[in-house]
Each structure stands twice: as structure tokens, then as C-alpha cells.
Amino acid sequence: MSAPRRSLRHSIAEGLRERIAARKLAPGDRLPSEPELARSLGVSRSSLRAGIALLEEDGLIRRLHGSGTYVTHRPLMRNDLSRNFAVSSMIAAMGLEPGTVDEHCGAEPAPAEVAHELGVEQGAPVSTLRRVRTADGRRVVDAIDWCRTDLIGPDEMRDLEGGSIYAALAGRGMRVHHAVATMTPDVAVDEVAERLAVPRGSLLLTLFQVDSTADGVVVLVSREHHLADAFQISVYRRGPGDGEDDR
């Protein structure tokens, strides 16, 4: 109903997703048959199937030929690393109040690894944004963002305080399509320990992340030092077998 801002199948998928999240469709339930459901939604069966396909690939539902379409018992995760992006929304998902302190930005020479990912000369100046994220006032993450100066200038970094970097990039036609995050265990040393206000040697989980557009252009590189006990970082993993077959 209303204006299908995005494609119809995405609207359909979103609608079903909400009904599943609201437990109106409980795990194990069988959905109405496709013709029936399509009629009740006022869409064609092919569009409905396209929408259902999205949920199936997501692991939310399972289709059995000749039998029906069933809601899987997929856990509702608050922190799925393969989904959420922003740290602040991660904190909010835990029911805590996200905040930011010790924020400062500027233009600094890019470290070797960052320069390589961004595709600029090593030591070339890049816009940086460093800040400590808090949850209910507690310092939990020390994050550094690097961005090409021609995309976001050092001054612009300051302007978007509070606002998301992703929104700023999207406004410049550089929409982040995907990212690759690499996780390593770590201990807090010197500056990081100080910023997080924890003893040196405290356990950290460090995420090194590279954000790209659909065209493969790397637009943002970041490193986040997470306190070990700040919050759980989880990943939803799909089954080993790609195809659906039993025996």
C-alpha cells in the first residue's frame, strides 16, 4: 500500500519481515499459499515470489516444493555484524544510550595500510576523524576513520559531528555498498588505553574495516578498538551446504 518507494518486492519482503519480527508469523508457521497471500496483499504472485526469495536468501523462511513455505527459527540477533554498520546503532540495539566524546579531526598522513586501501600515495594527507564512543556514558569504543580528502575535506569532517559519515558520503554520490571487516584480538596500549580510560593491557577486539561503493571504490577505512566486555559481537552464519537438499 502507499507509494512503493523502492521496488515492490523489497516492500513485500519488508512487510513480511516485520510480521515475522512481530511474531505474527511465528517460527515453524506455514505461510498462506502463494496465490492466496498474493491476493491478500494485492500483488501478483510473481512479485510475491520475488519478495519471498529475498527472505529465503536471508534465512528467515524456507520453501519446500509441494509442501509450503515455513518460517525458520532464525534467532533475532541484536548485533549481527554482517548487517549493522554504525557503532552507534550497535550500542542502541543493546538498549544503551550512544554518545561521543574526545572527538577531533584533521588531515594527517595516511598510514601505509590505509593509504594502500584508499588508493593514495603513502604519506599523502587524508581526512581523519577520531572519537570515543560511549554507551550510557561508559567509554567502550575508540574509533578512527580515514577518508580521501577529495571526498570529505578535513573541515567537513567537523561539520558532520553527530551526523553519520555514511550519510555525508551518500550525499556526495558515494553510497557505501559493502564493507569487509577484519577482527583481531588486541590489548590496550598507551594512547588507546588512555582514551578508553582502562588499564594498559586490557583486552580489546579490534575491527579494521574497508568500506566500498558498488563500483568497488574504497571510500572509507576505519579502525575500531572495542572493549572486550563492552558488548557481544556476533555473526549469523549460513549453513555449509549452499543448495537446499536433504540426502
Partner DNA sequence: GCCTCCAAGTTGTCAGACAACTTCGCTATC
Partner DNA sequence: GATAGCGAAGTTGTCTGACAACTTGGAGGC
Asked if 160 interacts with a second copy (CB under 8 A), we say: no
Which part of the chain contacts DNA (CB under 7 A), choosing from 29-37, 78-86, 188-196, 232-240?
A: 29-37
86 binds, among DNA, a second copy, none (CB under 5 to 8 A by kind): a second copy
b/e per residue 141-169 (b: at least 16 CB within 10 A): bbbbbbbbbebbebebbeebeeeebbebb
Give the nearest distance from C-beta 245 to a second copy in angstroms: 6
Asked if 94 interacts with a second copy (CB under 8 A), we say: no
47 binds, among DNA, a second copy, none (CB under 5 to 8 A by kind): DNA
| Of residues 138 and 175, the one with the C-beta less far from DNA | 175
Question: Sign of the C-alpha dihedral, residues 170, 173, 174, 176?
Answer: positive
Give the nearest distance from C-beta 157 to a second copy in angstroms: 19
Tally of residues, the chain: 247
Burial of 55 (0-12, 13-18, 19+ CB in 10 A): buried
- Beta-ladder partners of 98: 135
How many Å apart are CA 235 and CA 175, to the nearest integer? Answer: 24
Interface map 19-38 toward a second copy (x if CB under 8 A): --------xx----------
Q: Of these, 21, 101, 124, 180, which contacts a second copy (CB under 8 A)?
A: 180
Helix (H, G, I), strand (E, B) or coil at 31: coil
Can you give the binding site for DNA, defined by CB under 7 A?
4, 7-9, 31, 33-36, 43-47, 49-50, 63-69
